A and B are shown apart, each in its own frame.
Chain A
Amino acid sequence: MAIGLTLTYLTTKVPNFAYGSFVTIGIYTALSFYSLYGISPYGALPFAFLVGCLSSVGMYLGILRTLARRGSSLVALMIATLAIDIAFVGIFGIYSDYLYRVYHIIYATNFPQLPGDFSLFGVPGIAFVAPCSLALITLGLWTLLTKAKFGVAMRASIENPSLARVLGINVEAVYVFAWMLAGGFAAMSGAYYSLWLPGGIDVGSKLIVEIFASSVLGGLASIYGAALGGVIIGASEILITTAGVDVFGSSVGIYQKGIPLVLMIITLLVLPQGLVSLRVGKILRLTRKLRSFRLSKYLRLRGT
């Protein structure tokens, strides 16, 4: 999920508050396919991707670009994304009411996780599929950005839009493409989400804590960082909570959502550029220094 947010942030430099709602789009696509046609969320995946792409591009072209062209400030654009998020909640609400009235699906506003998952070695299949697709997406993006011509153009227009424009790259098309991918990934993760956890109209809005935390932890300027951040946030949320429950009893379980927030605050204050800004070389040099220090001590000991 965080990958998409980072993509949109990279291109337009606006934190997209409506991003969580793209996840909800995926959830609702999965729900409609499941309850209307009995197709499992895996089957709904491509459609979720498509719907996510379309609405994301629509949002970018229809609202954000229009506003940006009229010279809106950063804060104004942020407010606009907030408004879009609220509008999405409204749309999902109306849609679920519609589902209820027309198809008599009573649980449309809040529903349990959808069936249709297969199991592998006694573990739900989603536990394998989701990490695999994360790896695939990261790998795919890496290939696109480093090997393909279009990807290189993308990187160029992210790093220096005016220079890229001079070189004849259609920067607008690149941005639209990035937003499309972002919406698609979010909706896809929404479809996965519906297999694992209960869904509802404001799930996406509530997920925003984790999504922002992952992106910030990874460094808002790096796609790979976002993938890494997502894994770290997800894992720490579960691991720290489980550890906390073991130590302090079950009452700490409710603070689960606080962990990403705390991590995010720490990251922002200590390492505002995110994890990717850590210089690998610097760390290596530090450890080498440490090692040689110990070694010399050891040698001196032997010498005496």
Chain B
Amino acid sequence: MDLLIIYAIYLVVSLTLNLEAGYSGIPNFGKAMFVAGGAAVAGSVSGRLSAFIVGISYSGDYSNSAPIIINRLNAALSLNPILSVEILLLGILLAAGIGAALGYLASYPAIRLREDYLGMLLLASAQFFQIFLRSYPPVIGGVQGIEIPDFFGWANTGPGARDVVILGVVTLFAASVYIYFERIARSPLGRTLRAIRDNEVASRALGKDDVAIRKRVIIVASAISGMAGALLTFYVESVGPDTWSRQDWTFPFWVIIILGGAANNSGVAVGAFTYAFILKTTDRAKFLLQGILPSTTFNYLQYLTFASLLVLVLALRPEGIFPEKPSLTLKRQTVAAIIETNANGLEQKPDSSAKENS
């Protein structure tokens, strides 16, 4: 169950990275920042807001008193599913907003800099964002992180029922993101993105506004990453700064994309599953081998495994498991039919062919 939920969240974030890096050629090495932004705002607002609405007063800052009041909050929220869902949605929306805002900020240099400079800048920004979260307690409680109430408490009717509900929510989310991105990829916009990636000058000459399109791609991708971060926060019921390291929230998505195949959404889906599967199986193995190997060593071994996997894929099969598909063209008969109808229509309405060409 845990595997599937984590898979869905990873899938969403890797799809957004795929839209940026795979289709549009924007090397986002600061993915952690956007996911963390969403998670942080969702975590920091939802807890305070629910305590305020339910009417539990606390002294001092929320992050310090959260462990004391969390049980009462959970009890109150589980009796009031509508309120829980409302706050949940609000948190996700806020996360999308902060993701989009961060994306807008990032897009400012992104459209001006070369790949290597941009990569350095985003990597450094993400690192700073993590430091900021760690050292600025009012957001998510500084080093210890923050506990947030359980907004799925109402679903906890039987053993594992909460997980089933969350799985449903994240699956719905992931599926809609997948369909949305797949539609983008197959649309004229998707071809424009690839055109910009492959040859900026040529696409500009054809009248494509590459700056505006890139900006929009970053904003949309970042907003969705933020939402994924918020969902993760609501699932694990807490958020802390140490989660959002480069090792855990930027690097894996690159592994997934490279493994599955850049600019190919179904490849990314397979890559995300492979990653989540290896991660969770090795986690299980870690648990079983506790006596033989200390668990921290195992974590480091995981890093090592994924890093070498990535380098191996880059060296031996740079296009990934599923290579990028050429964009589909219409069948010859279809084209002929369109031309024929146009030719017929042309006699009556001269403007109708303009729509087909655009």
Contacts and interface: CB of A to CB of B under 8 A. Distances in A.
A86 B299 CA distance: 11
Nearest to B250: A82
Interface string A75-119: 110111011111101111110010001000000010000000000
Nearest to B25: A75
B116 to A, nearest CB: 5
A264 B113 CA distance: 13
Contacts of A269: 109, 112
Contacts of B250: 82
Contacts of B132: 254-255, 258
Contacts of B131: 206, 254, 257
B62 interface: no
A82 to B, nearest CB: 6
Interface residues of A, number: 50
B206 interface: no
A231 interface: no
A113 B238 CA distance: 33
A50 to B, nearest CB: 23
Nearest to B118: A268
A45 interface: no
Contacts of A191: none
Given A78-B116, A101-B294, A269-B112, A90 B128 contact: no
B198 to A, nearest CB: 11
Contacts of A53: none
A260 B125 CA distance: 10
Contacts of B301: 90, 94
A148 interface: no
Of B132, B136, B304, the most chain A CB neighbours within 10 A belong to B304
Given A74-B116, A75-B115, A269-B109, A90 B124 contact: no
A268 B127 contact: no
Nearest to A85: B246
Contact of B299 (A74, A93, A208): A93
A22 B270 CA distance: 34
B176 interface: no
Nearest to B304: A90
**Which of B25, B112, B120, B314 lies at the interface centre, i.e. has the most chain A CB atoms within 10 A of its CB?**
B120
Nearest to B127: A209
Contacts of B75: none
Contacts of B303: 86-87, 89-90, 93
A205 interface: yes
Nearest to B131: A257
Contacts of A89: 247, 300, 303
A95 B109 CA distance: 39
Interface string B120-137: 110111011001100110
Interface in B161-203: none
A257 B136 CA distance: 13
Contacts of A83: 251, 254-255, 306-308, 310-311
B240 interface: no
A80 B27 contact: no
A286 to B, nearest CB: 26
B128 A15 contact: no
B153 interface: no
B199 to A, nearest CB: 14
Interface string B207-242: 000000000000000000000000000000000000
B81 interface: no
A72 B112 CA distance: 24
A142 to B, nearest CB: 26
A272 interface: yes
Contacts of B294: 97, 101
* Most chain B C-beta atoms within 10 Å of own C-beta, residue among A13, A87, A255: A87
A174 interface: no
A86 B247 contact: yes
Interface in A52-85: 63, 66-67, 70-72, 74-76, 78-80, 82-85
A79 B299 CA distance: 20
A83 B302 CA distance: 12
Nearest to B246: A205
Contact of B314 (A15, A76, A90): A76
Interface string A9-26: 000011101000000000
A169 interface: no
Given A86-B306, A208-B127, 12 more contacts: A63-B311, A67-B314, A76-B314, A82-B246, A83-B306, A92-B300, A93-B297, A93-B303, A97-B294, A97-B300, A212-B120, A261-B124
Interface of A: 13-15, 17, 63, 66-67, 70-72, 74-76, 78-80, 82-87, 89-94, 97, 101, 109, 202, 205-206, 208-209, 212-213, 216, 254-255, 257-258, 260-261, 264-265, 268-269, 272
What 4 pairs across the A-B complex have the smallest Cβ distances? A93-B300, A90-B303, A87-B307, A254-B135
